[in-house]
């Protein structure tokens, strides 16, 4: 172990957000409250606590769903992306509703709400895990790789045979000193769908709360429902989702991560692999 001056963080004040879920169309209220050191990011639903860690993933169809035998909460990835990127380690997340509100389809409203509430350092250092073994997870054509590194850097590659013009990649460092990059390049990127997918989503009982105000609709090769907020916005949103899913590791960690054809299933499988590694004594080292 080596000395590190980074502190754990929580919110300076509570905040409340209300909106509609993109998949269920149901109204939800979310209250974020400050939490003590070593508490973690924990959801509170109908009197049940569900830690935002990889072992509580129960579904990854179109979004990430956490739960236990009694309760579930869906579409957690945008909020967790913002909390992880802003290094909010400890927070109680109280939810009334079946899924988190989609807001404008990006993480930006969550970032703004958290920044308005304020982030404060706490009395104990934040453990930072350094992995000393490479991990590789595959699922169909998707591949996720994690390799040892002195910092956290993420890379995603979006590939579409039906839309070759949309094939692109994005990269982002995370951690101390890189919050501004996340706010500028990633947080504004909205969830997206291809026009031909929308009918299938509705038939599957999904996207009941989807509108042109909370999603980017793509009609290849060059038609978008609204101007892009960032370059290759659809790829930036894949990076946003990856960050939210990696928040399920439940701790800060250093690694270089590359995901080819990212999605919630491959993302969370990688998060589960990293989670298991850092839970095993001395398979990962800790900087604290």
**Residue (of 187, 185, 154) closest to 260 by Cα position:** 154
Annotated catalytic residue 256: no
Contact 145, 27 (CB under 8 A): no
d(CA 223, CA 204): 25
Question: CA-based angle 113:255:183, to the nearest 5?
Answer: 25
**Residue 245's closest CA among 225, 220, 265, 228?**
265
H or E element at residue 14? none
The answer to whether the CB of 112 falls within 8 A of the CB of 119 is no
- Asked whether 81 and 240 are in contact (CB, 8 A), the reply is yes
Please identify which of the residues 23, 237, 256, 264 carries the catalytic annotation.
Answer: 264
How far, in Å, are 9, 67, 79, 82, 132 from residue 235 at the CA level? 29, 28, 18, 17, 29
Strands 15-20 and 27-34: antiparallel
- How far apart CA 182 and CA 24 sit, in angstroms, is 28
Give the residue among 197, 193, 21 at the shortest CA–CA distance from 95: 21
* Phi, psi (rounded to 5 degrees) for 112: -65, -40
Pick the closest to residue 255 from 138, 173, 150, 171 (CA basis): 150
Task: Please state whether the peptide bond connecting residue 221 to the residue before it is cis, i.e. omega within 30 degrees of 0.
Answer: yes
Q: Any idea which residues carry the catalytic annotation?
A: 264
């Amino acid at each position: 172990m080596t000395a590190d001056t980074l502190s754990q963080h929580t919110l300076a004040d509570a905040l409340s957000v209300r909106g509609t879920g993109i998949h269920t169309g149901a109204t939800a209220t979310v209250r974020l409250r400050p939490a003590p050191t070593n508490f973690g990011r924990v959801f509170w639903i109908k009197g049940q606590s569900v830690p935002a860690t990889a072992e509580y993933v129960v579904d990854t169809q179109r979004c990430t769903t956490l739960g236990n035998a009694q309760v579930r909460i869906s579409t957690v990835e945008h909020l967790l992306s913002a909390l992880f990127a802003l290094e909010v380690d400890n927070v109680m997340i109280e939810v009334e509703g079946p899924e988190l509100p989609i807001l404008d389809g990006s993480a930006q409203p969550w970032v703004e709400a958290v920044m308005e509430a304020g982030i404060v350092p706490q009395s104990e250092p934040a453990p930072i895990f350094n992995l000393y073994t490479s991990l590789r997870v595959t699922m169909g054509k998707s591949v996720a790789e994690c390799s040892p590194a002195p910092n956290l850097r993420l890379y995603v590659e979006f590939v579409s045979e039906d839309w070759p013009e949309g094939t692109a990649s994005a990269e982002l460092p995370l951690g101390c000193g890189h919050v501004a990059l996340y706010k500028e390049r990633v947080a504004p990127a909205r969830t997206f769908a291809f026009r031909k997918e929308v009918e299938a989503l509705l038939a599957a009982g999904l996207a009941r709360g989807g509108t042109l105000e909370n999603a980017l609709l793509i009609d290849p090769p060059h038609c978008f429902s609204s101007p892009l907020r960032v370059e290759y916005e659809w790829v930036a949103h894949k990076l946003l989702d990856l960050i939210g899913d990696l928040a399920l590791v439940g701790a800060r960690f250093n690694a270089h991560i590359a995901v080819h054809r990212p999605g919630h299933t491959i993302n969370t499988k990688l998060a589960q692999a990293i989670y298991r590694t850092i839970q095993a004594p001395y398979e990962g080292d800790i900087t604290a």
